[in-house]
Amino acid sequence: MSRDWNLDGRVVVNWKTCEWRPYPALDGGETGLMWRPVRATPGPGDGTYLLKVAPGGRAKLHVHGGREEFVVLEGELVDGDGEVLAEGDVVSYEPGTRHRTTCPRGCTLMVWIESPIAAVEGDDEIEAMRAGRRIVNWKTADYERYPSLPETADPIDWRNVRANPETGEGLSLISFPPGAGSALHEHTGWEEFVVLKGTLTDPDGATYETGDVVSLPPGSIHASRSETGCVTAVVIEKPLRTLA
Ligand SMILES: [Fe+2]
Ligand SMILES: [Fe+2]
């Protein structure tokens, strides 16, 4: 049987075992930050990466040119309005968010940032930040049937965070019951996810463990299956196309 999948260019990094590097300075006076790039882009602060903040670390006031989205993998982060973003929280900010964060106890984040960050002077824009911030905790969220699957596919659950239900585009949580698999599909943009619980196996036999961050470039074709059941947080950059 000929191969009907394409996973060329895939990158897998596990946040529990990866090596951390100093985070490139934004010249905003940020402290205590280490990172592990997964898909680094040239703009400051831009791309997909893991971020580890030491206890007492902080990001001073900065503005985002595009969306900022992250999962709190461990620890907690305090946003500019005092909101505590706790372990398990999946957070999405609208483009243009201007805020600062502190991290009294330390934390590790999986981060997707779609445009460069710039350090700025002045005050937080608290009301705008609150209005443009969504928070869903993957451990306590309600899930429903994934809405855009072909009728022949196994049932898979999801929780929309900031996604288009027709195309899958955006940020969502996806929960595979044990033994369920997705239909074969092609990504027209990047798909990048973190396995929060359980394992997930791709058609080349690669099994992603809990803690793995997986980056699949545009043109990737696959159908994933979970023997154990799993939960992932995923950003799908552009619409996906079901092939079967
Ligand atoms: Fe930010
Ligand atoms: Fe996919």
Asked, for residue 83, whether it belongs to a domain, the answer is: yes
Say what the pLDDT of residue 242 is. Answer: 86
Ligand nearest to the CA of 183: 2
Mean residue pLDDT across the chain:
93
Q: Encode pLDDT of 100-112 as tens digits.
A: 999 999 999 999 9
Residue 180: give its domain's CATH number: 2.60.120.10
Asked, for residue 6, whether it belongs to a domain, the answer is: no
Residue 116 Cα to ligand 1 middle (Å) = 10
193 and 125 belong to one structural domain? no
* Containing structural domain, residue 181: 141-242
25 and 108 belong to one structural domain? yes
182 and 112 belong to one structural domain? no
111 and 37 belong to one structural domain? yes
Ligand nearest to the CA of 188: 2
Residue 96 Cα to ligand 1 middle (Å) = 10
128 and 224 belong to one structural domain? no
- pLDDT of 1 higher than 60: no
Residue 44 Cα to ligand 2 middle (Å) = 28
Residue 161 Cα to ligand 1 middle (Å) = 18
Ligand nearest to the CA of 53: 1
28 and 99 belong to one structural domain? yes
152-181 burial, b at 16+ Cβ within 10 Å, e below that, comes to ebeebbbbbbbbeeeebbbbbbbbbeeebb
Say what the pLDDT of residue 26 is. Answer: 72
217 and 152 belong to one structural domain? yes
**How many structural domains is the chain composed of?**
2
Asked, for residue 40, whether it belongs to a domain, the answer is: yes
> Of the candidates 137, 169, 203, which is a domain's last residue?
137
27 and 132 belong to one structural domain? yes
Residue 224 Cα to ligand 2 middle (Å) = 7
198 and 148 belong to one structural domain? yes
181 and 211 belong to one structural domain? yes
Q: Encode pLDDT of 108-130 as tens digits.
A: 999 999 998 888 999 889 999 99
Burial class (CB in 10 A: 0-12, 13-18, 19+), 22: exposed
- The encoded tokens of residue 9 equal 């260019």
129 and 34 belong to one structural domain? yes
Alpha-carbon distance values, 50 to 155, 160, 194, 222 (Å) = 30, 22, 10, 24
20 and 130 belong to one structural domain? yes
Asked, for residue 4, whether it belongs to a domain, the answer is: no
Asked, for residue 174, whether it belongs to a domain, the answer is: yes
Ligand nearest to the CA of 225: 2
Ligand nearest to the CA of 174: 2
Burial class (CB in 10 A: 0-12, 13-18, 19+), 145: exposed
